[in-house]
């Protein structure tokens, strides 16, 4: 029999050893009278109302710019992760408010065009900045430095999320190949993390989101591939053989609901504070086999090759055009000038620089914003970094519309 609440003593709640650190904010957040929400539920609300969250509905999960309304986009993936995470955390006795907030915010900084977009921006960052780009770190950058919300007086404030949520976001990398995840003990400066999966999350709740990320996308990506008839009969037989090693579902039953249920049930049965958040050995083998199957037959499918080339052309063209505008003290004017030819791109990027650089022309007080300067336009590297972050904020549709604008006469 599966025992409920085995992690109750490990939850991040008042009195737990990590509580004070987990509710810390890097800057004070305004207080509402009679606010009955927990600190983590308040974070959940702030993420939910952010523009970065709204844009996820037009960002690729696997199949880009699909015309099929029932194919998963990034916002649906995030919803799945939140559902799976809360289900697991609730049964294990962990803090569901913290878990839900991490899950909802974990992909806010994801690039357009899915993981291919992330690869493209990583190439640009390495070539021009000798730095890397990975969406977990970019998500932290967005929630800390770029996203703003209005208070009751119309003044804009950074999200200023708690340490527990911020840690879960940058630590969420779902590529978990080892069994048993346990949280780390140290509360580190999150900007010292230099690569995905470098550290375990600080909380058990973060560990749940980390593994729920994989549970959520593998089955759904497979379901979408079946809907789009990407898999042929031989591949369906191969998939059946993989699943039959552990389960006994017919092919038509191999969908996201079935797989998530089986993985969740196995995870909560096997996990404990002593053993960690884990699957049984056969289910770990199954989840890794499904992942390998997806890479072999879905993520590297022939029909996606042309899309990958198209995505690289789009993002590379936007980056190169904006990078060539740099003239140090006259960069803002050059950006403004291109509005005559590329009105949407010119105005959009000009506003981006107004919001996040020292280029306010003495009008900062009019913005009612408490955001500190993010980019120094006297530094060419900072300017290039602003372009990469600007591109990473885009939806697929917006990036394509900009490309169409700059290629038309």
What digits encode the pLDDT tens for the residues 278-315? 999 988 988 888 889 999 998 888 888 888 999 999 99
Specify the higher pLDDT residue, 146 or 409. 146
Cα 237 to Cα 242, 250, 266, 332: the distances in Å are 9, 11, 24, 58
Res 360: pLDDT: 55
Q: Is the pLDDT of residue 69 over 80?
A: yes
Specify the higher pLDDT residue, 359 or 29. 29
Res 1: pLDDT: 63
Res 244: pLDDT: 78
pLDDT in tens, 135-147: 999 999 999 999 9
Residue reference for tokens 């120094």: 376
User: 0.85 exceeded by the pTM?
Assistant: yes
Q: Is the pLDDT of residue 248 over 70?
A: no
Question: What's the first-to-final CA gap in the chain, in angstroms?
Answer: 68
In the beta sheet, which residues pair with residue 272? 276
pLDDT in tens, 192-244: 999 999 999 999 999 999 999 988 888 788 888 888 888 888 888 888 888 87
DSSP per residue, 163-182: HHHHHHHHT------SS-B-
Q: What are the residue ranges spanned by the domains of the chain?
A: 9-28+36-108+147-300, 303-406
Q: Is the pLDDT of residue 380 over 80?
A: yes
Residue reference for tokens 């309304």: 69
Percent of the chain predicted with pLDDT > 90:
63
Res 19: pLDDT: 98
Q: Is the pLDDT of residue 361 over 60?
A: no
CB atoms within 10 A of CB 51: 12
Res 250: pLDDT: 58
- Please tell me what DSSP assigns to residue 57: G
Mean pLDDT of the region 176-199: 89
Res 71: pLDDT: 86
Q: How far apart are CA 246 and CA 196, in angstroms?
A: 30
Specify the higher pLDDT residue, 102 or 150. 102
Q: Is the pLDDT of residue 371 over 90?
A: no
Res 178: pLDDT: 64
CA 11 to chain centre: 24
Per the CB < 8 A criterion, the answer to whether 201 and 216 are in contact is no
Mean pLDDT of the region 59-82: 86
pLDDT in tens, 43-54: 999 999 999 999
In the beta sheet, which residues pair with residue 375? 357
- Give the contacts of 295 (CB within 8 A, at least 6 positions apart): none
Q: Are strands 148-150 and 156-158 parallel, antiparallel or unpaired?
A: antiparallel
- Give the contacts of 3 (CB within 8 A, at least 6 positions apart): none
pLDDT in tens, 382-399: 999 999 999 999 999 999
Tokens of residue 156, six digits: 């804009």
Percent of the chain predicted with pLDDT > 70:
92
Res 245: pLDDT: 75
Residue 252's pLDDT band (cuts 50, 70, 90): low
Res 229: pLDDT: 87
Q: Which CATH number fits domain 9-28+36-108+147-300: 1.10.3210.10, 1.10.3720.10, 1.10.287.3510, 3.40.190.10?
A: 1.10.3210.10
In the beta sheet, which residues pair with residue 276? 272
Res 52: pLDDT: 95
- Burial of 68: CB neighbours in 10 Å, binned 0-12, 13-18, 19+: exposed
Res 274: pLDDT: 96
The per-residue pLDDT of the chain, averaged, comes to: 89
Containing 262, the helix (H) or strand (E) segment is helix 256-270
């Amino acid at each position: 029999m599966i025992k409920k609440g085995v992690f109750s003593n490990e939850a991040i709640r008042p009195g737990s050893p990590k509580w004070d650190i987990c509710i810390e904010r890097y800057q004070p957040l305004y207080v509402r009278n009679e606010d009955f929400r927990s600190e983590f539920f308040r974070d959940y609300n702030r993420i939910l109302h952010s523009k970065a969250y709204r844009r996820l509905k037009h960002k690729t999960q696997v199949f880009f710019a699909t015309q099929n309304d029932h194919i998963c986009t990034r916002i649906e993936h995030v919803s799945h992760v939140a559902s799976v995470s809360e289900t697991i955390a609730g049964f294990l006795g962990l803090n569901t408010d913290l878990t839900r907030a991490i899950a909802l915010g974990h992909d806010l900084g994801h690039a357009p065009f899915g993981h291919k977009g992330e690869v493209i921006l990583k190439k640009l960052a390495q070539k021009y900045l000798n730095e890397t780009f990975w969406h977990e770190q970019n998500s932290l950058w967005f929630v800390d430095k770029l996203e703003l919300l209005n208070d009751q007086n119309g003044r804009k404030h950074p999200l200023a999320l708690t340490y527990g949520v911020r840690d879960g976001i940058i630590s969420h990398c779902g590529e978990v190949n080892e069994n048993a995840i346990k949280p780390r003990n140290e509360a580190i400066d999150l900007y010292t993390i230099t690569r995905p999966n470098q550290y375990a999350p600080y909380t058990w709740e973060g560990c749940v989101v980390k593994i729920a990320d994989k549970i959520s996308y593998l089955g759904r990506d497979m379901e979408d591939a079946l809907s789009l008839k990407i898999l042929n009969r031989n591949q369906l037989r191969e998939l059946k053989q993989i699943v039959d090693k552990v389960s006994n579902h017919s092919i038509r039953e191999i969908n996201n609901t079935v797989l998530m249920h089986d993985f969740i049930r196995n995870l909560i049965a096997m996990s404990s504070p002593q053993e960690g958040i884990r699957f049984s050995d056969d289910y770990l083998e199954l989840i890794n086999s499904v992942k390998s199957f997806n890479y072999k037959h879905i993520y590297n499918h022939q029909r996606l090759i042309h899309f990958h080339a198209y995505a690289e052309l789009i993002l590379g063209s936007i980056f190169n055009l904006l990078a060539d505008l740099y003239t140090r003290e006259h960069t803002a004017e050059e950006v403004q000038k291109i509005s005559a030819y590329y009105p949407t791109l010119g105005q959009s990027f000009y506003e981006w620089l107004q919001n996040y650089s020292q280029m306010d022309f003495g009008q900062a007080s009019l913005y009612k914003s408490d955001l500190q300067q993010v980019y120094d336009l006297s530094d060419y590297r900072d300017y290039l970094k602003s372009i990469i972050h600007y591109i990473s904020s885009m939806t697929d549709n917006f990036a394509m519309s900009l490309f169409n604008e700059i290629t038309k006469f």
